[in-house]
Amino acid sequence: MTSLNVENLHVSLGGREIVQGVSFAASGGEFIGLIGPNGSGKTTLLRALLGLIPSTGGISLNNVDLRTMAAKHRALNMSYVAQERDATWPLSVETVVSLGRTPHIAPMQQLKAVDRDAVETAMREADVADMRERPITELSGGERSRVLIARALAQASSVMLADEPTSALDPAHQIRVTEIFSGLAANGRLVLMTCHDLSLAARFCTRLLLLNNGRLEADGSARQVLTAENLQRVYGVQAFFGEDEDKLVVVPRSAIG
């Protein structure tokens, strides 16, 4: 089973320590919501896990140090939906999603049937199959997000890291995407998603990690992490707490101070 171990991770950027001694262990089957206020270090943590920025401390996947893993091997193991959805080139939706298969094919080789199937499935799941011929540069922000999610799904890696994948999506697509991520976890993948929608995270994620000023302040179930005390201290909000089908509903309703 996939296992990710992060031990005493530190990241400094621009002379400031952004991630300060974060440790956690995660396994395939978990859908983890990485939450915390703006600037708390969520994106930085994901980027460090991907080896996109320097860090110190331990990061291992299946007991292999991720920093020593070849880029292609890492890409086979980890997909990433970045927070930036900018598109420079007017590539078709289908071409962009097909790029998710790059780690699976040898240089200069064409997609095989298995790759084309993965691309079709990913486009269908992210609801972008109907726009397959359209240039990504002409899509709305939410449509572009779904294409980039489809690209990550097509990669079919054991770990999915997604940075606010639902932030530009309408309610139906937010639910659809989080259900897809839940399905990935149910099938043994590890999903780590940043999210500002606390109710969405509470409903779908199996575990929440709460970051504050680069430190892991809480790690556990939605009910353990999304307490009135944590929301006040970390987010500076008072919230309404409710229930829907046994799931916690959290609606921030006033900012304190």
Ligand X SMILES: Nc1ncnc2c1ncn2[C@@H]1O[C@H](COP(=O)(O)OP(=O)(O)OP(=O)(O)O)[C@@H](O)[C@H]1O
Note the residues at the interface with ligand X (CB under 6 A): 13-14, 18, 36, 38-44
Minimal distance, residue 26 CB to ligand X, in Å = 18
Q: How long, in residues, is the chain?
A: 257
Residue 141 CA: distances (Å) to CA of 85, 136, 148, 164, 169: 7, 10, 11, 13, 8
Residues in contact with 216: Cβ distance below 8 Å, sequence separation at least 6, in sequence order:
22, 23, 24, 209, 210
Minimal distance, residue 16 CB to ligand X, in Å = 6
Nearer to ligand X, 14 or 257 (CB): 14
Nearer to ligand X, 38 or 88 (CB): 38
Nearer to ligand X, 69 or 211 (CB): 211
Burial of 102 (0-12, 13-18, 19+ CB in 10 A): middle
Nearer to ligand X, 36 or 100 (CB): 36
Residue 197 CA: distances (Å) to CA of 94, 178, 256: 29, 11, 19
Q: Which residues of 61-83 are buried (b: 16+ CB within 10 A; e: fewer)?
A: beeeebeebeeeebbbbbbbbbe
Nearer to ligand X, 5 or 213 (CB): 213
Minimal distance, residue 223 CB to ligand X, in Å = 23
Residue 77 CA: distances (Å) to CA of 63, 73, 154, 155: 13, 6, 12, 9
Minimal distance, residue 151 CB to ligand X, in Å = 20
**Looking at beta carbons, which residue is closest to ligand X?**
14
Q: Count CB-CB contacts under 10 A for residue 30.
A: 18
Nearer to ligand X, 18 or 177 (CB): 18
Using DSSP, how many helices (H) and how many strands (E) does the chain show?
Answer: 9, 12
Minimal distance, residue 83 CB to ligand X, in Å = 6
Minimal distance, residue 197 CB to ligand X, in Å = 12
